[in-house]
Structure 1
């Protein structure tokens, strides 16, 4: 007679092979369920892997324990990996449900996604559509990529975090990292903070972010308000950003190149306000170009002279 452990492994491998396409490998150690009502079976050190062409591993999923139900595998302390052509992605969480009918995974508690390029996402819960490499959540997400921090409620995008849509309550902080700055020096004075009601569409591969609805850009000496805003940035790995007009040292990490604000644009600098349909702010030249019947309200001749410099 076969051992319970052997029967269990064969059972799991058979079910998963029937409900998922591709080549798979299942490994586990047997553990008795606490009661019949808890689950059909309980196993420890559960792992599942998928393979693509030429036997190359494309993804894997493991958990400290797994409770096997009719349609779901409930995992504890789980880790998932996605192995891409250009980048690897790792997912960790305290709890997760693996849907055996479609291969999708729902994770909760201390959810973290990290990529081999250094990007990181944290949230309270997440759905992973493994076949399409898409993740989504209704909770607040925090994304860190070099010196660009993004937060929003509700998100959907690529598992590798190259493209993400944040639905609402959006905040983006860009903090320049100054080359050669002394230890303890702060870049807070040069921080750019952008908020909007959402949605935000951000594409790290094309280096562009599009903000929608009630957008505000807050800089040290000015603010820009609009309904739509496009933010163009570059990375130290793609091209060398130009030195700005103030002669500041080269900024490392992500570098904001240009901001384009559209529709009901208001620019505030001190007591002075400008209105226009479009404003293009060039960071390298430290210059704003207004278009669409601009209107200027000048309250200080000093500020007016500064704007013309």
Structure 2
């Protein structure tokens, strides 16, 4: 009788162990992600919990870009990240982008950034906005939100902008304002405005206004050239419906060239000068 009871206890223990092993095996199988290999499932599981990091290379093996951040969610090819940091490596300059959150597309390698977005180049250009998109195959970054770009003594703001990843060439879309140099010069236009920081010039379009302590200049289009060190304007070529206001003098012409160093304006295209003596003050030299 005692042998029979002992045998039953052994059978219950064996049955319990078998059930435990069976349930444990089922749990492990259910943990795998459908359609993924064991290695891929492990990688995806780690990305959901740990930091996300991915690097892209050129054909020759040179590092082209990298994206890092905390992964909050992975849905198909999209990786939603927080505390994002992305880097683009170029021939002449590198750019680092940071944001509170963003989305990385694992198929296209495109990046969408939101909230406190800041892009900084190794050459000293800084871009700030609320939303920024990085289009990998087109090698450009763009936004339709308010944007501010600073470089040394030059600050530019606008609504919407598009740039090369190295931030050397930027197109500001509309409602553009540039503040540069000391003494300060302010240039505004409806846009677009294209600036080349590498070659130190900018092209302003539509309802352009150039203003400093010496007067104002209005025109349809203006090309401004800058000193690479001081960011002061050295030359302005104004075209179309040019009007210069200085003290009580109004000057009209088809085109005008302002030379800052020489402090003079060259007018072309049947210039006309209107003088209002009752409003005239002793004009300062230059524009």
TM over 0.5: yes
Residue 233 of structure 2 corresponds to 256
Q: How does 1:1-309 map to 2 (within 5 A)?
A: 10-11=39-40, 30=46, 42-176=48-182, 190-236=183-229, 253-300=230-277
Hey, which of these two has a bigger chunk of helix by percent?
A: 2
**Could you tell me how far apart the structure 1 residues matched to 2:55 and 2:104 are?**
13
Contact 2:263-2:285 within 8 A present in 1 as well:
no
Residue aligned with 1:235, SS:
coil
CA distance in 2, matches of 1:52, 1:210: 33
The whole-number CA distance in structure 2 between the counterparts of 1:209 and 1:150 is 11
How far did 1:95 drift? 0.9
Which sections of structure 1, spanning at least 5 residues, go unmatched? 14-26, 32-41, 177-189, 237-252
Give me the TM-score of the superposition, normalised by structure 2: 0.81
Q: What root-mean-square deviation, in Å, do the aligned CA atoms of Structure 1 and Structure 2 show?
A: 2.7
Q: Which has the larger radius of gyration?
A: 2
Name the CA shift for 1:263/1:68 in 2 (closer, same or farther; >3 Å).
same
Answer whether contact 1:44 1:66 (CA < 8 A) is retained.
no
Q: Secondary structure at the match of 2:227?
A: strand
**Alpha-carbon spacing, 1:277–1:70, altered in 2? closer, same or farther (3 Å):** same
> Matched residue pairs, number?
256
- Mapped to 1, the partners of 2:283 and 2:116 lie a distance apart of 52
CA distance in 2, matches of 1:143, 1:12: 42
Contact 2:108 2:136 in 1 (8 A): no
Cα distance change of structure 1 residues 88 and 306 upon mapping to structure 2, 3 Å threshold: closer
